[in-house]
A and B are shown apart, each in its own frame.
Chain A
Amino acid sequence: MPDKFDVIVVGAGPAGISCAYHLAKSGVNVILIERGEYPGSKNVMGGVLYRKMMDDIIPGFYKEAPLERPIVEQRFMMLDKESALTFGYKGLEWAEEPYNNFTVLRAKFDQWFASKAEAEGALLINETVVLECIVEDGRVIGVRTDRPDGEIYADVVVLADGVNSLLAKQLGFHKEFKPNEVALATMEILKLDKAIIEDRFNLEPNQGCTIEIFGDATKGILGTGFLYTNKDTLSIGVGTLLSGLIKHKIKPYELLEYVKNHPMIKPYIKGSEPQEYLAHLIPEGGYHSMPKIVGNGVIVVGDAAQLVNAIHREGSNMAMTSGILAAETILLAKMTGDYSENMLDHYRMKLMDSFVGKDLKKYKDATHHFDKFPQYFEKYIPLMNQAASQMFTVDGSSKKEKQNKIWKDIGSAGEKMKIARDLVRAWRVMK
């Protein structure tokens, strides 16, 4: 007789682990299936973990979790070929408990988080691929894995199988994503001495800094680059929409090499040694690309549900919240013994009512807008750099003259109108 569980969670990333953790803690018999050698072995993100959502799940987690550095400074770089316009915020209130955000290495963090779920009683099975959901009379009743005697059954199956969720696709919840709905991020982890990192980024020990890079980091293609400080490594990466890579015929690793060799970036990583190379897809279609996320006996969470806010580089926090909301819904369903789509739809309503749904809605057109109008990245960032260069170069001309020159350099009256229009448009999609 195959094993029967209350809940099967497919995928041990932030969404899946959060869900399994919450369920196990509430006494639910839950099994968590991970295809990698261990949780985190196949999971990739730039490396910012948001404290709030994690703290809601395990209060005070930062006291014991394997974190890299609390982030005390966030910098933003508008990059041109040989210049950068940088602004940022550094605040020491972020250097104290309970902190704001942290840099993390997922291979370590996810393993730890999963071990907490295990300690609550969740059963973690690694190195096992779920091939398909077992569907009977229109409801999901279990999953088939690639293991011999690999069928297991449950009242509810939670799909946390990540971007490109093949399982949700098999159920007909979504179609193949289009190249402008997914970004490809490539990154490297670079080994660098602790003291050098702290020196170079102006940090005390146990303080971290993140730099988000726009503009020339992606050669003007819609996307961003990033450079984060870990304990004794740096995470550097670049992510762009697949459609952009295809259009500009650039290979993702070429883009990463370009960023690493950019004169504004190179000094930061000088003398470091590549330790790991990682690449992953990010679902960036946002609100318009959200698949069906609830069915009879099945709930979709995290990246699999396209829960990413590309503008604010948030994803793991949304994944965690979705995992918890799924768990809460399942607990409700368990009380009534009803696992129908109608009942589980509670999850969808809760999700759309939370910051996850609200933020996705707020930015529903943002990525598409910047994808459609490449001038923001291709043109305006260089323009800002030129303006700053003009303004801050001391050459004997008066500031008034400089302003006039900048104004003239922007172009004809028509050109100025166009920029004004673009600014209004950008404001509309971001507001």
Chain B
Amino acid sequence: MLHVVACIKQVPDTKVAKLNPKTNTIDRASAPAILNPYDTHAVEEAVRLKKRYGGTVTVLTMGPPPAVKAIRRCVEIGADEGYMISDRAFAGADTLATSYALTKALHKISQIRPIDLIICGKMTIDGDTGQVGPGIARRLDIPPLTSVNKVVEIDKEGGSAVVHRKLEDGYEVVKSTLPCLLTVEKEINEVPYSPMPNLIKAARYQPTIWAVSDLEDVDRTQLGLKGSPTIVGSVWAPPKPQGGEILQGPVNSQVDQLMDILLQKKELFAVKGGAS
């Protein structure tokens, strides 16, 4: 029986979110809060492994009270249990402090039920760093396997996992010991339309919520803003593409016009690194 924990985060939907023109940070009020899309696939993969090998899927998140909604979404996908750590002391955490706090919560979860595998999304769509997953693995001293796009096998008895890691031009097959931590790509699976019984369970679900005082052995100086050495020098929005032109006329003439325009752009045809 496998115990898989998925670490998840509630994020503003950056597809619709607007930037605050003054601070250049995401205006959180402008977008609905959703389960980080990569995490959706992490939870789905955990649920698939549970179906394959039997066991339990637990989800863990750190966030303010409304983040319960993200845990409910995980229950819709098929998670069995949800834990949330929520405390003012966690506020303002960067990836270092976040991975510290989550690790403390994972310790507590493993006392309830030993953990075989941790799955995270490759990154969040609000921070885009992809650091929390590997950070947790480092703190737990277990192997991190990033950019996983296929889980070939989990062998609990043999204590090993085989996965595919996505590379720029292919994939590599990696065998690791258990427990280990995976961060997954979106292409690892497709999340199906959740069944009605899961929805009903999720609507009623109340996750376990822990404050800092519920966790053991916590060094408070490593939490939240205090435990975050990251300094953001400046933030800016990428410039919007300028210009552009809508071609007119019949298709054939539009193609000719386009070819003319492209051929004039010499920089497109320069050989990278070559002598000019």
Contact = CB atoms under 8 A, between A and B. Distances in A.
Nearest to A1: B197
A123 interface: yes
B28 to A, nearest CB: 16
Interface string B199-215: 11001100000000000
B12 to A, nearest CB: 15
A208 B32 CA distance: 27
Nearest to B194: A147
Contacts of A2: 196-197
Interface string A19-55: 0000000000001000000100000000000000000
A38 B204 CA distance: 17
A149 B195 contact: yes
B193 interface: yes
Interface in A142-164: 145-152
Nearest to B204: A123
Interface string A124-154: 1100100000000000000001111111100
A147 B196 contact: yes
Contact of B200 (A38, A123, A146, A148): A123
B257 to A, nearest CB: 32
Interface string B219-238: 00000000000000000000
A202 B125 CA distance: 44
A31 B102 CA distance: 35
B196 A149 contact: yes
A146 B204 CA distance: 20
Interface in A290-334: none
A82 interface: no
Contacts of A150: 195-196
B203 A152 contact: no
Interface string A364-393: 000000000000000000000000000000
Contact of A125 (B192, B193, B199): B199
A123 B194 contact: no
A3 B200 CA distance: 8
Contacts of A152: 196, 200
Contacts of B203: 123-125
A2 B195 CA distance: 11
A129 B192 CA distance: 16
Contacts of B204: 123
B200 A31 contact: yes
A145 B200 contact: no
Nearest to B199: A125
Nearest to A32: B203
A24 to B, nearest CB: 12
A3 B194 CA distance: 15
B196 A128 contact: yes
Contacts of B193: 146-148
A128 to B, nearest CB: 7
B48 to A, nearest CB: 15
A335 to B, nearest CB: 26
Contacts of B197: 2-3, 149
Contacts of A125: 196, 199-200, 203
Interface in A1-29: 2-3
Contacts of A147: 193-196, 199
A148 B32 CA distance: 26
Nearest to A41: B32
Interface in A91-150: 123-125, 128, 145-150
A211 B32 CA distance: 32
A128 B199 contact: yes
A152 B192 CA distance: 20
Contacts of B199: 125, 128, 147
Query: Counting chain A CB atoms within 10 Å of each CB, which of B192, B194, B197 scores highest?
Result: B197
A7 to B, nearest CB: 14
B115 to A, nearest CB: 29
B37 to A, nearest CB: 15
A58 B204 CA distance: 23
Interface in A334-363: none
Nearest to A122: B203
Contacts of B192: 148
A147 B197 CA distance: 9
A160 B194 CA distance: 23
Query: Counting chain A CB atoms within 10 Å of each CB, which of B32, B192, B196, B197 scores highest?
Result: B196
B226 to A, nearest CB: 34
Nearest to A111: B32
A410 B117 CA distance: 86
A200 B145 CA distance: 61
B202 to A, nearest CB: 9
Query: Counting chain A CB atoms within 10 Å of each CB, which of B193, B195, B199 scores highest?
Result: B199
B22 to A, nearest CB: 17
Interface in B176-192: 192
B36 to A, nearest CB: 17
A35 to B, nearest CB: 13
A2 B197 CA distance: 8
Nearest to A126: B199
A151 B196 CA distance: 8
A193 to B, nearest CB: 15
Interface in B92-121: none
Contacts of B196: 2-3, 125, 128, 145, 147-152
B141 to A, nearest CB: 40
30 contacts: A2-B196, A2-B197, A3-B197, A3-B200, A31-B200, A38-B32, A123-B203, A123-B204, A124-B203, A125-B196, A125-B199, A128-B196, A145-B196, A146-B193, A147-B193, A147-B194, A147-B195, A147-B196, A147-B199, A148-B192, A148-B193, A148-B194, A148-B196, A149-B195, A149-B196, A149-B197, A150-B195, A151-B196, A152-B196, A152-B200
In the complex, the 10 A-B pairs of residues with the closest C-beta atoms, listed nearest first: A148-B195, A147-B196, A149-B195, A150-B196, A123-B203, A125-B199, A149-B196, A3-B200, A149-B197, A147-B195
Given A2-B197, A152-B196, 16 more contacts: A2-B196, A3-B196, A3-B197, A125-B196, A125-B199, A128-B196, A128-B199, A146-B193, A147-B194, A147-B195, A147-B199, A148-B194, A148-B196, A149-B195, A150-B196, A151-B196
